[in-house]
Amino acid sequence: MTKNHKKTVRKEAESAVKSIRIPTFDEVYAMPHVQESIRSLIDLNIHQFPVLASYADDIRQELLIALNKALPNYDGRAGIKTFCRTCLENSIASIRRRYHRKQDLVLSYATDISDYDDDLEEKGLPPEDVRAFVSQCRNTVEDDMLRMDINDAIHRLPKQTRVILEKLLDGESMTQIENSMKLSHSTIRRKHLDVIKKELFGTIF
């Protein structure tokens, strides 16, 4: 390929990128697919965490704001419906966590303090019973949310990358994975481990 031909190909590619028309927010918002995606995401999260029901309108607004901010990044490599759905799915985890701050959970799930004595040990309960009581009263919603966020992130991984992650979690060494999957060390590290780190740590934490 000559230098002139390379320049021509590059110019054609740049021209194709520039010619991509980014739809307006009003156009995207009017799409039934987008409206259904927002509705289903909110319904799913309220079903899993009923405390979110009172925040449904706020969550919907934040999803729309996230979608509006993401639109300028649309590059046409995927269909607009896929782009919007991915944006909404990636945004819901961080939005949901904002409405599960510890003080919100305490207010939503707390039992009247008058139901309990200030110091259970003063009533003669042994330390192990007190620890068991505290453990039973501990709110596990945040643990459930984190577990769901991790599962969501894992399911967004490409199939081969997900297989590598499962092998690592099962205790297989890099050498065993390379041999069983017939992949080089550099390919696994560059193509798969970087994706795992970005999806799990970049999205969740």
Residue pair 58/3 in contact by the 8 Å Cβ criterion? no
Residue 16 — pLDDT band, cuts 50, 70, 90? very low
Put simply, whether the predicted model's pTM sits higher than 0.75 gets the answer no
In angstroms, rounded to a whole number, what is the distance separating the alpha carbons of residues 156 and 101? 25
If you average pLDDT over residues 10-33, what whole number do you get?
74
Range of weakest confidence among 15-24, 69-78, 146-155, 186-195: 15-24
In angstroms, rounded to a whole number, what is the distance separating the alpha carbons of residues 194 and 205? 16
In a 13 Å sphere around the CA of 67, the CA atoms on its Cβ side amount to: 29
**Amino acid letter for position 21:** R
Site of tokens 């979608």? 67
Site of tokens 């009923």? 50
Say yes or no to pLDDT of 202 above 70. no
From 138, 109, 111, select the one nearest 50 (Cα to Cα).
109
For residue 199, the 8-state DSSP code is I
Say yes or no to pLDDT of 31 above 90. yes
* Average pLDDT score, the chain: 75
Please, what is the Cα angle at 139 between 135 and 143, to 5 degrees?
Answer: 105
In angstroms, rounded to a whole number, what is the distance separating the alpha carbons of residues 184 and 171? 19
From 24, 105, 103, 29, select the one nearest 61 (Cα to Cα).
29
In a 13 Å sphere around the CA of 23, the CA atoms on its Cβ side amount to: 15
Going from N- to C-terminal start, the domains of the chain cover 21-110, 157-205
What is the signed CA dihedral for 66, 70, 72, 73, rounded to 10 degrees? 170
For residue 124, the 8-state DSSP code is T
Q: Three-class SS of residue 176?
A: helix
Residue 43 CA: distances (Å) to CA of 36, 110, 115: 10, 24, 34
Residue pair 176/125 in contact by the 8 Å Cβ criterion? no
pLDDT per residue over 145-170, tens digit each? 667 777 777 778 888 988 988 888 88
If you average pLDDT over residues 84-90, what whole number do you get?
90
